[in-house]
Amino acid sequence: MREMNNELVVPFTEKLLEKEFIYGKNNSLDSVIFETVQEFHIDLEVFKEMFQSVDMKQKVQLEFQEVQNLATGYPTLLAKQNGEIRKLASGFAPKDRLVKRIDALLSE
């Protein structure tokens, strides 16, 4: 989704998580992903072509390798700023603590 419309990454991810945790759907299935793509009025055939390409599979694999060492708990909140990835939370974190960390990051 990031490659097609970066502004939809967060809402798209939210919708996938909703399907998994509220409706019990397996969001790792292509059918659930494609269903969600259509809900965002994205051209499904263009998405499928990109999603199933060798280039995209390599990009995803590299990204998984990048975050594997960073995501040490669930959920993990990461922020990327100026090319640097920083962990804001791993596991439960109170809202106040997250807001302070995000504010500190944004003020740098």
| Three-class secondary structure of residue 90 per DSSP | strand
With CA atoms as reference, report the closest residue to 20 among 11, 10, 9, 32.
Answer: 32
pTM: 0.71
| Chain segment 22-51, per-residue pLDDT in tens | 999 999 899 999 999 999 999 999 999 999
Task: Indicate the range of 2-11, 17-26, 35-44, 75-84 predicted with least confidence.
Answer: 75-84
Average pLDDT across the chain, whole number: 92
Whole-number Å distance between alpha carbons of 52 and 68: 22
Domain locations along the chain: 1-68, 71-108
Residue 75: pLDDT over 90: no
> Hey, what are 35's tokens?
């269903």
Q: How many helices (H) and strands (E) does the chain have?
A: 5, 2
